[in-house]
Structure 1
């Protein structure tokens, strides 16, 4: 009589792979829509996700409208001047630009952020701390 062999890969019922979710939201809460980067669920911080970021340069400049700033910019491939310094009152700021006005001459400057190196102020600045705190003019001493 011949022995019948079975291969170890044959199963009587099919097996399916079930991935385990990395994060399960608490009952009753919802996740942000796809593409959202807020990192918050129903006003709460989601573990493993970054908090909402508010400290972008344009937001900090908007908080300091009306203050005098010195803006340092570098313009590559410019034969007349490579770097330039602008001093004036912050009138407006957008995602890609800054508007300064020179109170002595009345001249207005529309400056593209792409050329921005840094900005200095001669007084304390308003700064909205990005992670749930209130406005901060300076960091506490270390």
Structure 2
């Protein structure tokens, strides 16, 4: 019967893991660049009015799932969800890179 089969054991060769232990997230990079001018490129699926959106402003706050920028034209703070952001461009020079998390 099948439940009386001997257990199957695996052995480890003791090799070195190639997995990276340090990680950098977009949240970390954006946090180091608060106060810089940034352009967000966003898309909203199934929305005929706002299918694609480009917003330029000063990066004010960064959360795990959102980005807040102050629009230069209106002076208003706007919050955008990360799920809608395609990419970022730092307008006022190169971005400061984040230190890896361990």
TM over 0.5: yes
By relative contact order (CA 8 Å, sep 6+), the higher-ranking structure is 2
2:11 to 20, 32, 39: 20
> Can you give the 5+ residue segments of structure 2 that lack an aligned partner in the other structure?
1-5
Aligned pair 1:48/2:18, yes or no? Answer: yes
TM-score (norm 1): 0.57
Cα RMSD of the aligned pairs, angstroms, is: 2.7
Structure 1: gaps (5+ residues):
1-14, 25-45, 133-142
Number of aligned residues:
96
- Structure 1 stretches of at least 4 aligned residues deviating more than 3 Å after TM superposition: 15-19, 129-132
| TM-score (normalised: structure 2) | 0.77
Which residue of the partner structure matches residue 37 of structure 1?
A: none
Q: Per residue, is there more strand in 1 or in 2? A: 2
Q: 1:22 to 1:97 in 2, by over 3 A?
A: farther
More helix by share: 2
Map of 1:1-142 to 2, 5 A cutoff? 19-23=10-14, 47-54=17-24, 56-122=25-91, 123-128=93-98, 130=100
